[in-house]
Structure 1
Amino acid sequence: MNTYSHKIFGWAAGILLLLSACSKDFLERKPQAALDESQLTNKKGVNILLVGAYGAIDGQDFVNGDMVNLSGGSGYVVSPDNWVYGSVCGGDAHKGSSPDDASTILTVATFGTNASNGFFNDKWRVNYEGIRRCNFVLHLLTKVTDMTDAEKTEVAAEARFLRGHFYSDLKKMFDKVPWMDETNTDFANLNVDQYKLPNKESIWPKIEADFQYAMQNLNERQSEVGRANKWAAAAYLAKTYLYQAKYTDAMPIFENVINNGVTTKGVKFNLVKHFHDNYDGATENNEEDVFSIQYSANDGSGGTANANQGEMLNYPYGGPFSCCGFYQPSQDLVNSFRTDDNGLPYLDSYNQHPVKNDMGIASADNFVPDGGNLDPRLDWTVGRRGLPYLDWGLHPGRDWIRTQTSAGPYSPKKNVYMQATQSQFYDPNGWAPGNAINYVLIRFSDVLLMAAECQAQVGDLSKAEAYVNRVRARAMDPSGWVHTYIDDDNPLEGNTDDPAANYVIGTYPVGTFGGSGKDWALKAIHFERKLELAMEGHRFFDLVRWGEAETTLNAYFTYEATITSDIAGARFTPKKNEYFPIPQRQIDLSIKDGKSTLDQNHGY
């Protein structure tokens, strides 16, 4: 939320650990400095623990000077933007760096991994850590006597919203997950494996119930910008319905969010004027922000746990950045931004119109960037040779790439801080960069495109078209494009007459969706999500829920393997790879009466 809240989160996390540890002491002696539940069963204690539940969203912690996640592993493994699982596995990007650097990511990205991969156990445990914090808040809340009913309801709604978030992340990752709530009353040890709970029933109805409660009981405005409000809960509830293909349930909620929703500051939801304002610390928490993770830099914690640590590897290799060359956008993604003479995408044949790259060309050698028609969102999403890399100067190509032959010639961009404001938003306190750029879990353009999907499925194709065009129209404003530099003293200054590339983008002519039919309209909507939300961790999960993962990803592997070596032999196997394996460690821990209570996903 803010620096103060991050510090409170650290205190709250410590309290949770003390409570857990004191009850499991093998001597059954209470440590002198430990707190018991009675010391927290009051308004102040419950609110501190609620902030601790918010703090678990990013999955990070700072322990003994080492950057780790809440389960004890590397922070990037559990990054809440799901850059490994959502974007690398979805074809947005390559692992990056060199093949032997964090090579476990490659086994995940090529679908060659198994249930023993520790990444999955880390992801599982981080989400359940968040869930147990929410449950503890709800457990204590029933005993508090110094709060009004309205205050209790608000806290309960925030805790249930957060619990819904953690469970929805587990559900889309693993499908078959056990449900643990505040009725599990032994809060001495809140780990899910203690209860030997089964994972045989879908938890979607319970996730729906949490978001429904939150939507009905949360305030519209909040005292701190990072807290959830009723409209964030509404968007999450509608998204939960969408993931189950309950379009008729989702559609009116999305429409309500679009027409009436406001931010926690009371500002009506809208698209910000410039696309890049969603990825700049100076312009965050804006009218497009439905719900986001609040990051902070140089907050006095001594490390980068609160500074977007999950993406600490994802900066160009070399140059002005200390690390690490991961998360390199794919050629397939770059080609997707090619447009025709009307400024529209090539929905089916984009790879037949490839964007020129500098593969195999040294930075000292001459290279002229692609001169064809391009969607301007490309150069706010992907760093490519000869184009401005934010305000750091022109991307030099191979000098900023660790191994071109392995992962291609491109660099990530949406997560990178600006040079002009690095004193405020860059955090150098770790071995890899940190920054204070929030990660937006749901933004308004995402809501518009999800609503368009529902309209195309069960509503009005013209309204679906209008929502897609609203997103595309924002990208048409030349003042929001990447420009070449015209003033060396002010590298952010640009001129609408000097775009950095040949940007040509248009909206779909009125009636296109209706005239082309439902299936074509859905194809256009799906493609627009690929463009608008690229490198934001959504792609793999979208492909799975659309039933398009097998066809799209295997075509991606075939095409991209002709350019890079890292994904050679990769293959998506249907009826298996739609979900990741239940961690073997959790299956082993769930044994009860000689038998595991957790079922493994099919095919693992």
Structure 2
Amino acid sequence: MKKLNYLLIVGAATLGLAVHSCSDSYLEQPALGSLSDEVLASKEGVNSLLIGAYGALDGSGNGNPWEVAPSNWIYGDIAGGDAHKGSDGGDQPAINSIATFRTDASNGFLNNKWRADYEGVSRANSVLAVLATMPEGELTEAEATNIEGQAKFLRAHFYFDLKKMFNMVPWIDETTTIYQQPNDQDVWPMIEADFKFAYDNLPATQSEVGRANKWAAAAYLAKSYLYQKKYAEAKAVFDQVITEGQTSNGLAYGLLDNYYEVFYAQWENHKESVFAIQMVSHDGTNGISNANDGNMLNFPYNATFRCCGFFQPSQDLVNSFKTNPATGLPYLENYNANPVKNDMGVNSSDPFTPYTGTLDPRLDWTVGRRELPYLDWGLHGGQNWVRLQSYGGPYSPKKYVYWQETQEANADQSSWAPGTANNVLIIRFADVLLMAAEAEIELDNLEKAREYINQVRGRAANEDGWVHTYVDNGNPLEGFTNTPAANYKINLYPAFADKEEARKAVRFERRLELGMEGHRFFDLVRWGIAKIVLDAYFDYEGSVTSDVTGASFTNDKNEYYPIPQAQIDISRVDGETTLTQNPGYQ
């Protein structure tokens, strides 16, 4: 099974959208670098356009890569309280206002995010437009339907991202001829229709692992239902995904035995990968645009990674991994009481003893902590690995950082900050189980929900998959012992007392399982608890670091980001703008 090669976009996706020169010569010959309609309306041409649409998944070419990162680490995790911006206050200051909900429509990050998603929409639309002009016999019916299904899946993905970011966005499809469309209609029905078409028409497996299949479309369709609180519809599709679903390379969906194997290139495209954006290092371009460059800032400062000290996990997130020493369950209330010990203000040359209380073992695959193994790079160095503790806290990100043992293959040092071959997981099977559990709870099926939640917790309880103590003996992978690195204790939930307890459990489990994966802010918004949770976060975290002190969340405004002013300005028709700003940002 081949891995889809997004590099084929050269001479394909951008060519079909080429802008002609201002000279009259374009009337006599195609612009250099463009392809004729006849070439595009061929099997090779339309497939190249489709690969170009996949190539838009990483957002590259629309501002700095971190501004448009498909992992949504800024808009989902920093805005959701799982992480600080990190670095220092003067570095990438546009993120500061996003983290504290003081941003406005002039923030260039938001404009570039909008542009990146609509670039993807445009490329998907180009595929569908060309497909409609294909000569008879150029494609079999099955080939044409497969291409159409993939293009509609990708378009729905980009619109889903736009919807959860900006809410009211203009719908542009392959039939649109006037692009200054108003944002006065809800795009959920169109997103649903695209995912439904893909679910109904895509094959279960594909020739290349990076391509969307029917089960990825099903999971995304069910997620769309869940976001709209259509719980019965979501449950019906989740049931099918859980019992029948398989990856594009034919693996029945399931949880990997070890939590850490989910995130790293050496185990990629596994049975838990429902839909992932494919990344590759050393692609021959002497750059990292295909090597997860959206996360290029997110490595410990100094240490051996060179750059850049961003995306530092919050103390609030770390505290959520505490477990009750008697039950092995999380503290669903007051988890910030008796916080996990950190090394704030402790020099790396001074002794430090980590927290000795009981913890969920997923903490130390999510967060880099002082004196705990940092993958196979040895023990986390504390203050020396952090740019400014007082601003961003004492912790480092850990998911998606490359391992020392496999760095030659999976790290790319072609730029001033590292790239990696680690795929970006948009939906994984643990996420599916927890979303399905949410639907079951709202339908009063608490026992089924508990089964799904406990499947996820049961994997985390596998001691083989815990972080173990590490002794640096010169051979990275041989340094691990059989002794757990911290006092890990995790157990399964007993029967829930009522629906409210079940809700709290599944919401907390999503944070523990999916922490630092771009979901948190969007989860809080759709649950309707963003203000309660984030104001409490600001009150607590503001006593730990200086970056979010005094921040607050405003209901009926901050649930969505402002429509970028640059987009409003260019939407004018006859002197009137067609785009309307979101409430509270006028």
| TM-score for both structures, normalised by structure 1 | 0.94
Contact (CA 8 Å) 1:2, 1:294: kept in 2 or not?
no
Q: Deviations over 1:515-542 (max 9, x none)?
A: x100110011000000000000000000
Aligned partners of 1:33 and 1:445: how far apart in 2?
44
- Partner SS, residue 574 of structure 1: coil
Q: For 1:515-530, list aligned pairs within 5 A.
A: 516-530=497-511
Q: Deviations over 1:123-171 (max 9, x none)?
A: 0110010011100100010111211111111100000000000000000
Question: Are residues 1:178 and 2:170 paired?
Answer: yes
1:21 paired residue among 6, 19, 22: 19
Alignment partner, residue 64 of structure 2: 74
Question: Are residues 1:129 and 2:119 paired?
Answer: yes
Alignment partner, residue 191 of structure 1: none
1:322 paired residue among 306, 317, 331: 306
Computed over aligned residues only, the root mean square deviation of the Cα atoms, in angstroms, reads 1.5
Q: For 1:98-497, list aligned pairs within 5 A.
A: 98-145=88-135, 146-185=138-177, 195-341=179-325, 342-485=327-470, 488-493=473-478, 497=482
Aligned partners of 1:487 and 1:32: how far apart in 2?
56
Aligned partners of 2:463 and 2:10: how far apart in 1?
44
- Partner SS, residue 276 of structure 2: strand
1:494 to 1:466, Cα distance in 2 relative to 1, 3 A: farther
Q: Deviations over 1:365-392 (max 9, x none)?
A: 0100000000000000000000000000
Alignment partner, residue 592 of structure 1: 573
Contact (CA 8 Å) 2:111, 2:564: kept in 1 or not?
yes
Q: Once structures 1 and 2 are overlaid, which stretch shifts more, 589-598 or 354-363?
A: 589-598
Unaligned residue ranges in structure 2 (runs of 5+): none
Structure 1 residue 569 displacement after superposition: 1.5
- Aligned pairs, number: 580
Aligned partners of 2:106 and 2:364: how far apart in 1?
38
Question: Are residues 1:55 and 2:55 paired?
Answer: yes
Contact (CA 8 Å) 2:7, 2:55: kept in 1 or not?
no
Alignment partner, residue 65 of structure 1: none
Q: Deviations over 1:540-597 (max 9, x none)?
A: 0000000010000000000000000011121110000000000001101111122111
Structure 1 residue 491 displacement after superposition: 3.0
1:597 to 1:469, Cα distance in 2 relative to 1, 3 A: same
1:547 to 1:42, Cα distance in 2 relative to 1, 3 A: same
1:24 to 1:202, Cα distance in 2 relative to 1, 3 A: farther
1:3 to 1:528, Cα distance in 2 relative to 1, 3 A: closer
Structure 1 residue 25 displacement after superposition: 5.8
- Partner SS, residue 266 of structure 1: coil
- Partner SS, residue 352 of structure 1: coil
- Partner SS, residue 77 of structure 1: helix
Aligned partners of 1:418 and 1:32: how far apart in 2?
43
- Partner SS, residue 425 of structure 2: strand
Aligned partners of 2:365 and 2:142: how far apart in 1?
44
1:506 to 1:24, Cα distance in 2 relative to 1, 3 A: farther
Structure 1 residue 492 displacement after superposition: 2.4
Amino acid of the structure 1 residue aligned with 2:253:
F
Structure 1 residue 252 displacement after superposition: 1.0
2:77 paired residue among 74, 84, 87: 87
1:545 to 1:153, Cα distance in 2 relative to 1, 3 A: same
Q: Deviations over 1:79-102 (max 9, x none)?
A: 000000000000000000011111
Amino acid of the structure 2 residue aligned with 1:454:
A
- Partner SS, residue 498 of structure 1: strand
Contact (CA 8 Å) 1:292, 1:439: kept in 2 or not?
yes
Q: Deviations over 1:215-254 (max 9, x none)?
A: 0000001110000000000000000000001101100101
Aligned partners of 2:244 and 2:481: how far apart in 1?
34
Q: Once structures 1 and 2 are overlaid, which stretch shifts more, 259-268 or 407-416?
A: 259-268
Contact (CA 8 Å) 1:479, 1:496: kept in 2 or not?
no
Aligned partners of 1:494 and 1:151: how far apart in 2?
50
Alignment partner, residue 553 of structure 2: 572
Amino acid of the structure 1 residue aligned with 2:189:
P
Alignment partner, residue 189 of structure 1: none
Aligned partners of 2:236 and 2:77: how far apart in 1?
29
Structure 1 residue 415 displacement after superposition: 1.6
Amino acid of the structure 2 residue aligned with 1:567:
V
1:166 to 1:26, Cα distance in 2 relative to 1, 3 A: farther
- Partner SS, residue 182 of structure 1: coil
Contact (CA 8 Å) 1:484, 1:500: kept in 2 or not?
yes
Contact (CA 8 Å) 1:359, 1:404: kept in 2 or not?
yes
1:508 paired residue among 484, 488, 493: 493
Structure 1 residue 494 displacement after superposition: 6.7
1:23 to 1:171, Cα distance in 2 relative to 1, 3 A: farther
- Partner SS, residue 349 of structure 2: coil
1:217 to 1:561, Cα distance in 2 relative to 1, 3 A: same
Aligned partners of 2:233 and 2:211: how far apart in 1?
25
Amino acid of the structure 2 residue aligned with 1:549:
A
2:86 paired residue among 78, 91, 96: 96
Aligned partners of 1:307 and 1:600: how far apart in 2?
35
Contact (CA 8 Å) 2:77, 2:83: kept in 1 or not?
yes
Structure 1 residue 497 displacement after superposition: 4.0
- Partner SS, residue 103 of structure 2: coil
Unaligned residue ranges in structure 1 (runs of 5+): 61-69, 186-193
1:486 to 1:244, Cα distance in 2 relative to 1, 3 A: same
1:230 to 1:25, Cα distance in 2 relative to 1, 3 A: farther
Aligned partners of 1:472 and 1:493: how far apart in 2?
28
Contact (CA 8 Å) 1:456, 1:521: kept in 2 or not?
yes
1:430 to 1:497, Cα distance in 2 relative to 1, 3 A: closer
1:282 to 1:569, Cα distance in 2 relative to 1, 3 A: same
Question: Are residues 1:537 and 2:518 paired?
Answer: yes
Aligned partners of 2:21 and 2:579: how far apart in 1?
26
1:389 to 1:201, Cα distance in 2 relative to 1, 3 A: same
Alignment partner, residue 561 of structure 1: 542
Alignment partner, residue 63 of structure 1: none
Amino acid of the structure 2 residue aligned with 1:88:
I
Aligned partners of 2:374 and 2:280: how far apart in 1?
23
- Partner SS, residue 350 of structure 1: coil
Aligned partners of 1:422 and 1:549: how far apart in 2?
39
Contact (CA 8 Å) 1:363, 1:399: kept in 2 or not?
yes
Aligned partners of 1:34 and 1:470: how far apart in 2?
51
Task: Report sequence identity in percent.
Answer: 56
Amino acid of the structure 1 residue aligned with 2:54:
Y
Contact (CA 8 Å) 1:478, 1:496: kept in 2 or not?
no
